[in-house]
Structure 1
């Protein structure tokens, strides 16, 4: 209810009611609506720029943004787990696999190196969460690079393992005559008495006494280089080239079971014990060569003898007795 205003009329000595002019009234109404409109507009601008009131679309965008932030947090946790697992693999790769196969470890700076050159993340700049997005992207790319390096390293290790497996299969590692077929270990590597001249001379192999016809086995994978009777003193003999500088010789055979050029594997039957060539009794004379040098075969029986059997063989092999050839 609007207030009623009065004024004092000295002529009538009484108060008279002030009647507002219509133009002024309309002007006041106009000012009121204009002020209300301006106040409402300013209030709306204020509210739209604060979090007090949000439109449904803004609420939807806020929920979507929080969901993205949550997904980035989950992604970073997963990347942390991947980095931990990858770090464990890298440690084993450098300190176990590559060390075992005699390969140089991959430097840490090579594994952790970033990406230089131009700004790779320019398209990700200018957003509210640009720092978080760029950091996560850079971290993910480094992990991808580490995985590529590790994958290539494991490929290299696989090749080295295959080569190592071939080497281990090629090294003469078993006794050429089974222990149960032996009569005795007659003579070892070293200075021995010659059975014919009775002079002391170097015996370059080991003599295994067995009955004629006892099976003889290849001590490692390789290729038969010779199977003939054309070497002085050895009689019928076989030479196997194992590669990697290794060669084995089996002498005084009675019969061959392989021929020149044939590939054999460790444990294959290659011939039979005999008494051919410069030999005093049926036995196998066995030699191991490395890089064209004859070495003691006693060090190459780890694949077929127990510790006790090896100890007994070592005792007999070191006795300076008379050889059989």
Structure 2
């Protein structure tokens, strides 16, 4: 209960009760309510600025987690880009050089994406720059991986072809050293045994007894096994593919037939002296793209360095050929 206040009236010489005017009372009440409203507003405003709600805290945690994930993703992309760059370097400077293929241009490997803005839907957010940059890097990385993947597919095909080439090239001596009497004549200008005139000798002559085994010098298909070519007598021609063909002449007899597939080292015939021949020997030729080339360069698969040096020495002598 509020206290009652009095004042002394000198005229009546008595105490009178103080009466508060209604208008003044209303003003006091209004002022109090206004002050209370303002105080409440300030408290709420400051609270909203400095005090987070549970929902705001949860959203803030999610945003921080998303930023952390983007940072981790960028670090992983750094590592992936480094690995891919290493693979690309090996691809251009090792694999493609070995398989005689042109390297992939750098601008093709690292090409971006032109045309329309692919990231317009990612604009307008607090972290749009981070999100857009990460997506760009990811898209380029994916494109580089596709380019590299196709390149490795091509390298795989080239490797398979290279393996076929290595097995197809005539790379061994057609007559084993144990069976040789001597290397009678090499590739080059030689004296003809019948006319005694110097002329080009297009192969190598291996002197060996009649019936000595003759071996295929590379994988291929027998294209001829007959005596229908002038001067060669009974002879065999093997198509090795890749432009290579080997010829074995003056044979005693065959051990293969036309269109038969042979492997390097297979027994294909026997030394003889058929056709234009002075004595039992094997006349051996190698053709590349229709041109006869020196067989001396194709014995790396069966001779030691010492044996090859001796063969090279004998082959270079300008002696008389046997055919």
Q: Which runs of structure 2 are paired with 1:113-152 in the superposition (5 Å)?
A: 113-152=111-150
CA distance in 1, matches of 2:53, 2:261: 84
Superposed, which structure 2 residues align to 1:69-84 within 5 Å?
A: 69-84=67-82
How far the C-alpha of 1:191 sits from its partner, in A, is: 2.0
Matches within 5 A, 1:292-303: 292-303=290-301
Give the alignment of 1:182-261 within 5 angstroms.
Answer: 182-261=180-259
Distance in 2, Cα, partners of 1:171 & 1:192: 26
Q: Name the CA shift for 1:187/1:8 in 2 (closer, same or farther; >3 Å).
A: farther
Q: CA RMSD in A?
A: 2.5
* Farther-moved stretch of structure 1 (253-262 vs 193-202): 193-202
Distance in 2 of aligned mates of 1:3 and 1:123: 71
Following the alignment from structure 2 to structure 1, what is the Cα–Cα distance between the partners of residues 278 and 203? 15
Partner in structure 1 of residue 305 of structure 2: 307
* CA deviation after TM superposition for structure 1 residue 190, in Å: 1.6
**1:170 shift after superposition:** 2.1
Q: Distance in 2 between matches of 1:191 and 1:154?
A: 47
Aligned residues: 323
- Which residue, out of 94, 97, 100, partners 1:99? 97
Q: Please list every run of 5 or more consecutive structure 2 residues that lacks an aligned counterpart in the other structure.
A: none
Name 1:270's counterpart in structure 2.
Answer: 268
Please give the alpha-carbon distance, in whole angstroms, between the structure 1 residues aligned to 2:171 and 2:102: 28
- In the TM superposition, residue 21 of structure 1 has moved relative to its aligned partner by 4.5
Matched with 1:44 is 44
Q: Cα offset for 1:58?
A: 1.0
In the TM superposition, what is the alpha-carbon distance from 1:322 to its structure 2 partner?
A: 2.0
- TM-score by structure 1 length? 0.90
Q: CA deviation at 1:231?
A: 1.9
CA displacement at 1:17 relative to structure 2: 8.0
After superposition, the C-alpha distances for 1:210-242 in whole angstroms (9 at most, x for unaligned) are 222222111122221110112222221101122
Give the corresponding residue for 2:177: 179
Q: In 2, distance between residues paired with 1:235 and 1:169?
A: 28
List aligned pairs for 1:63-74, cutoff 5 A: 63-74=61-72
Q: SS where residue 287 of structure 2 aligns?
A: strand
Counterpart-to-counterpart distance in 1, 2:5 and 2:117: 76
| 2:214 match: secondary structure | strand
What aligned pairs does 1:12-27 form with structure 2 within 5 A after superposition?
A: 20-21=20-21, 24-25=24-25, 27=27
Residues 286-319 of structure 1: per-residue CA shift (max 9 Å, x gap): 0111222221110111121111111110011111
